[in-house]
Structure 1
Amino acid sequence: MGKHYIIAHDIGTTGNKATLYSSDGELISSTLYKYQTFYPKTGWAEQNPLDWWQAVCDTTKTLLEKTSVTREQIGAVSFSGQMLGCLLVDRQGDPLGNAIIWADMRASDQAKRLEEELGMETVYQITGHRISSSYSGAKIKWVKEHQPDVFKRAYKILQAKDYLVYRLTGTFATDYSDACGTNCFDLVNKVWSDDILKAWGIEKDIFPDLHASTDVIGGVTDWAAKETGLLQGTPVVIGGGDGVCAAAGVGVIDEGEAFNYIGSSSWIATASNKPIFDPEMKTYTWVHLDANKYSPNGTMQCGGGSMQWVTELLYQDSKPDVSMYELMNLEAEKSPPTSRGLVYLPYLMGERSPRWNPDARGAFVGLSITHTRGDMARSVMEGVAYNLKIVLDTFQKEGAPINYMWVLGGGAKSASWRQILADIYGLDVYVPSYLDEATSMGAAMAGAVGSGLIKDFQEAKRWVKRVNIHHPQPDIQKKYWEFFPLFNETYSQLKPVYERLKKFN
């Protein structure tokens, strides 16, 4: 039998989800292996990279054991991975400690010093990203300053998926999308930035070679074949960071296409032929899985997280036959558009895009004694949508037209919320058949294109099936767009208050 299948590993924060796809995009099977995150100090977050490898070995064997697919039929292995990490390894590829992951904030001083030396605008124009302690560059600098013995022994700095690609092939590599998450990458020229590395005091050689997400890095070695159950020589395609994999996995390949992910954090991303450099730096840009394109993005801190918060706060009394989320949706549907004049600011965890204000806080403004919890629930849905509309408007203003919006994630399971998004965005909202599989599907697409199982991403786009569509309702859209300036004005008025509240936190 021919080689018609791809194994896609999605190395997430809580575990590795391994998924088996056919070369025509059919999801055959998936399995999850969970691992721990360690918090040795406040603001620190680490994982053991050996746990990632164990996850890949176990899930690969599980997929092969529980399906009728043989290892000879696996045409490629590919990856999606958590981004913004810092794993230092020696010349043999052995970890020199735990990986510092995206959620770790220990390197704020290092990020601040880079801003003082080069300036936020300069780095943004080079990298397409603001300076942040979340990014790998600041973390590398922190290790150099605080763990000099470890840094002296380091040969390469790797992201999660890059380490696993090394374990499978024996080759050190990274892709353009993960390179974007270092704050050290020249977005336009697709090279490491000499100016930024000089400012950091980091040698270029510590970074692995750069590749397109569809590049075959090598074949599975004899040792890795024994560990995983794969066939020696099976092509390993490097894949990309989780955000850009999700974009491709929902068919956002060409200009005019976009998607909205609503998980704990929420974001809007589109596809473009060139980077978007917003003058106010509200958004940022990755290189797309298709290395000839880009994936502009804007991520808010607490989208679905806001919905979870208000539901758990107000709907604990739901009856056994109705979940609290079902009850919340039913009551929110009874509230009229604009929630009877109630504004919700979704800044429960500060804010990234579009405000970039860590001091911002959540607020209900306009509450009266006549408001119900259904009004409050609907107001939360609307507030998250208004906040994301700022991101959407930024893309459109900077020359990235958007014709429709796919939705993904747990929050997208709410039909009420999807309709609110359509009305506030003024766009058709598309619902894919797989709400939770876009990330692994994007990795599988990269694997299929890179290994030659399919021709290109245009062919891969046919994998994505639409099962529902929500059209904007003109009368309601008009009402929302009249209300939208109040949302922005409310934030502007409260901004100085947030600053003064800091000392009471």
Structure 2
Amino acid sequence: MTKYILAHDIGTSGNKATLFSEGGKLIGSHIASYDTDYFKGTWVEQDPEDWWNAVSITSNKLISTLNINPTDIAAVSFSGQMMGCLCVDESGNPLRKSIIWADQRAQDQVAQIERYISQREFYHIVGHQNTASYGVQKLMWVRDNEPEIYNKTYKVLNAKDFIVTRLTGNFYTDYSDGNSNGCFDLKNLTWSDKIIEYAGIDKDKLPELKPSTFVAGGVTKEASEATGLAEGTPVVLGGGDGVTASVGAGSISPGKTYCSIGTSAWVTTASDEPIFDEDMRTVTWAHVVPGLYAPNGTMQTAGGAYNWFKNTICKYETHQAELKDTSPYDYINEQIEQTPVGSNGVIFLPYLLGERAPRWDPNAKGAFIGLRSENQRGDIMRSVLEGITMNLSIVLDILRKQVDIEELLVVGGGAKGAIWRQMMADIYNAKVKVPTVLEEASSMGAAVTGGVGVGLFKDFDVINEFIEINSEHTPDPLAVKDYQPMKEIFDDSYFALKEVFAKMSKM
């Protein structure tokens, strides 16, 4: 009898439930969307009941439409959005909406921590800078602004941890999501008493830390009725979405590296020890795989910048695509292909929403630089992809200072274009491998984590049986050479405009 693993990927726009067989075959998936509240400029919240409804709906749909016997599901496991703050009571009921990763309201709380600890010391404890993105700063904001909520809080949870609580009645988080709370001792995989003291929060409000493969409990009768899962089905914690993606992309041993190109994008490798950058441009996550770390650099707008360009500048290509029922990217790529390396001198800075790695500059802006009267549309089009890729190459080069990286897997929607993939190989000066399944890395990583957790798989090496390589791109030596001066100018351009961007942000 075939056994299955149900993986839930609780993202920002919705939950994706994916069913995998024990042999690694993707059986089916369902998505349920939910809303995000954006207000007061930098405040971003979601209703956790929407997460639960999405998990219930997609679980039921998968089981019913695929005619799966619920008792054949060996485990449920999770990948989830990180860096959130959801306050719940002793029964696991939300006390307010969740303050999610994108929220930046906790600036005063960042300053409170900085009174006691430098950015550099904080970075070397947590693996991340002290910013308003992380959970502990958000919890401090609740304490300072909603004391009645803070006082009633039994535990503060991330998205997947809330669903685990709903399914099992138990309160846990794994090391990767614990890391995203910003008060985590990365080397010792424990809560950091020093940062908790400086933050002035109650440690007992933090959930118990466990490995990602930990079985948090079985599905309760009430949860079974809501989801269609069999009562008692093992629930495996799983990990934060960025880290489960490392498993799904095969980054499960030192030096194994991948690049994910979605709305945002990142480069992540695996290492035996945290990687600390002298300029604190990259971060290090606790890996889902025991004993490993996931050094990483994430940029804000990658595919998002490309999509913005398509929607605002490429209206002609979009119109032509509508007439012929094809993709506007086909017309864009035709012009990019006819444009030489370096876009005839045009450089694009892809900082449409400020920037995380490698700049960590909320004031950074997007810009086209070097335009001349002889430039054509294709030059501007190609510069967009080159700018995104050169920004990611800075992250890759930082990681290369401590890890030997000669090839990497590329996943995500941006990996669909062969032209862009070859550009990555040339700018990264690395072999780029492309799996057959491009957009299931987080789900697949969660599924493998669940399988390891219940003993269905011996270890994480099974992911090598899941991943099928569809194509490879090797660097063109001439293009690699031509890109070197362009990469330097790209970097110089940001620093030349940094103060200008800061002034523009005050306008």
Look up the SS of the partner of 1:370 in the other structure: coil
Aligned partner of 1:100 in structure 2 is 99
Alpha-carbon separation, structure 2, partners of 1:8 and 1:425:
32
Q: Deviations over 1:223-249 (max 9, x none)?
A: 211221111111110000000111111
Aligned partner of 1:229 in structure 2 is 228
Matched, 1:139 2:133: no
Aligned partner of 2:367 in structure 1 is 363
- Conservation of the 8 A alpha-carbon contact between 1:311 and 1:377: no
Alpha-carbon separation, structure 2, partners of 1:238 and 1:461:
22
Alpha-carbon separation, structure 2, partners of 1:480 and 1:159:
41
Aligned partner of 1:307 in structure 2 is 306
Aligned partner of 1:494 in structure 2 is 497
Alpha-carbon separation, structure 2, partners of 1:429 and 1:461:
17
Aligned partner of 1:478 in structure 2 is 481
Q: Deviations over 1:320-348 (max 9, x none)?
A: 21432111111011100001111111112
Look up the SS of the partner of 1:400 in the other structure: coil
Alpha-carbon separation, structure 1, partners of 2:46 and 2:61:
23
Aligned partner letter, 1:417: W
Aligned partner of 2:256 in structure 1 is 257
- Cα offset, 1:496, TM superposition: 2.4
Alpha-carbon separation, structure 2, partners of 1:84 and 1:296:
16
Q: Deviations over 1:152-200 (max 9, x none)?
A: 1110001110011011111100000001111100000001001100011
Q: Deviations over 1:456-491 (max 9, x none)?
A: 001223211110111101111111113221111222
Alpha-carbon separation, structure 2, partners of 1:502 and 1:69:
54
Look up the SS of the partner of 1:476 in the other structure: helix
Look up the SS of the partner of 1:429 in the other structure: strand
- Conservation of the 8 A alpha-carbon contact between 1:270 and 1:296: yes
Matched, 1:402 2:405: yes
- Conservation of the 8 A alpha-carbon contact between 2:30 and 2:58: yes
Aligned partner letter, 1:48: D
Aligned partner of 1:191 in structure 2 is 190
Aligned partner of 2:29 in structure 1 is 30
Alpha-carbon separation, structure 1, partners of 2:488 and 2:306:
22
- Cα offset, 1:500, TM superposition: 2.8
Unaligned runs of 5+ residues in structure 2 are none
Matched, 1:174 2:173: yes
Aligned partner of 2:63 in structure 1 is 64
Aligned partner letter, 1:51: D
- Conservation of the 8 A alpha-carbon contact between 1:213 and 1:240: yes
Alpha-carbon separation, structure 2, partners of 1:460 and 1:308:
31
Matched, 1:390 2:389: no
Aligned partner of 2:439 in structure 1 is 436
- Which deviates further from its counterpart, 439-448 or 340-349? 340-349
Aligned partner letter, 1:128: G
- Conservation of the 8 A alpha-carbon contact between 1:80 and 1:161: yes
Alpha-carbon separation, structure 2, partners of 1:236 and 1:312:
42
Look up the SS of the partner of 2:37 in the other structure: coil
Look up the SS of the partner of 1:375 in the other structure: helix
Look up the SS of the partner of 2:108 in the other structure: helix
- Which deviates further from its counterpart, 8-17 or 251-260? 251-260
Look up the SS of the partner of 1:95 in the other structure: coil
- Which deviates further from its counterpart, 474-483 or 76-85? 474-483
Alpha-carbon separation, structure 2, partners of 1:253 and 1:430:
16
- Conservation of the 8 A alpha-carbon contact between 2:259 and 2:411: yes
Q: Deviations over 1:64-101 (max 9, x none)?
A: 10113211110000000011111111111111011111
Alpha-carbon separation, structure 1, partners of 2:54 and 2:503:
46
Aligned partner of 1:416 in structure 2 is 419
Aligned partner of 1:425 in structure 2 is 428
Mapping 1:120-139, distance limit 5 Å: 120-139=119-138
Aligned partner letter, 1:266: A
- Cα offset, 1:362, TM superposition: 1.4
Q: Deviations over 1:350-409 (max 9, x none)?
A: 111001111111111111111111111111111111111110010011x12213111112
Aligned partner letter, 2:382: R
Alpha-carbon separation, structure 2, partners of 1:175 and 1:443:
12
Cα 1:400/1:483, change in 2 over 3 Å: same
Q: Deviations over 1:14-51 (max 9, x none)?
A: 11100000011100010011111123533211111111
Alpha-carbon separation, structure 2, partners of 1:56 and 1:199:
37
Aligned partner letter, 2:8: H
Aligned partner letter, 1:467: N
Look up the SS of the partner of 2:479 in the other structure: helix
Aligned partner letter, 1:120: Q
Q: Deviations over 1:288-340 (max 9, x none)?
A: 11021011110111111221122222211121214321111110111000011
- Cα offset, 1:449, TM superposition: 0.7
- Conservation of the 8 A alpha-carbon contact between 2:448 and 2:462: no
Look up the SS of the partner of 2:295 in the other structure: strand
Alpha-carbon separation, structure 2, partners of 1:30 and 1:245:
17
Aligned partner of 1:334 in structure 2 is 338
- Cα offset, 1:217, TM superposition: 0.9
- Conservation of the 8 A alpha-carbon contact between 1:315 and 1:327: no
Aligned partner of 1:348 in structure 2 is 352
Aligned partner letter, 1:114: I
Aligned partner of 1:381 in structure 2 is 385
Mapping 1:220-299, distance limit 5 Å: 220-299=219-298
Matched, 1:80 2:79: yes
Q: Deviations over 1:108-134 (max 9, x none)?
A: 111122123211111101000011111
Unaligned runs of 5+ residues in structure 1 are none
Look up the SS of the partner of 1:141 in the other structure: helix
Alpha-carbon separation, structure 1, partners of 2:59 and 2:219:
13
Q: Deviations over 1:246-273 (max 9, x none)?
A: 1111111112211111112111111111
Aligned partner letter, 1:484: K
Aligned partner letter, 1:11: I
Aligned partner letter, 2:271: S
- Cα offset, 1:499, TM superposition: 2.6
- Conservation of the 8 A alpha-carbon contact between 2:88 and 2:155: yes
Aligned partner letter, 1:449: V
Aligned partner of 2:217 in structure 1 is 218
- Conservation of the 8 A alpha-carbon contact between 1:314 and 1:373: no
Aligned partner letter, 1:422: A
Aligned-pair identity in percent equals 48
Alpha-carbon separation, structure 2, partners of 1:34 and 1:386:
33
Alpha-carbon separation, structure 1, partners of 2:92 and 2:485:
57
TM-score normalized with structure 2 length: 0.97
| Number of residue equivalences | 502
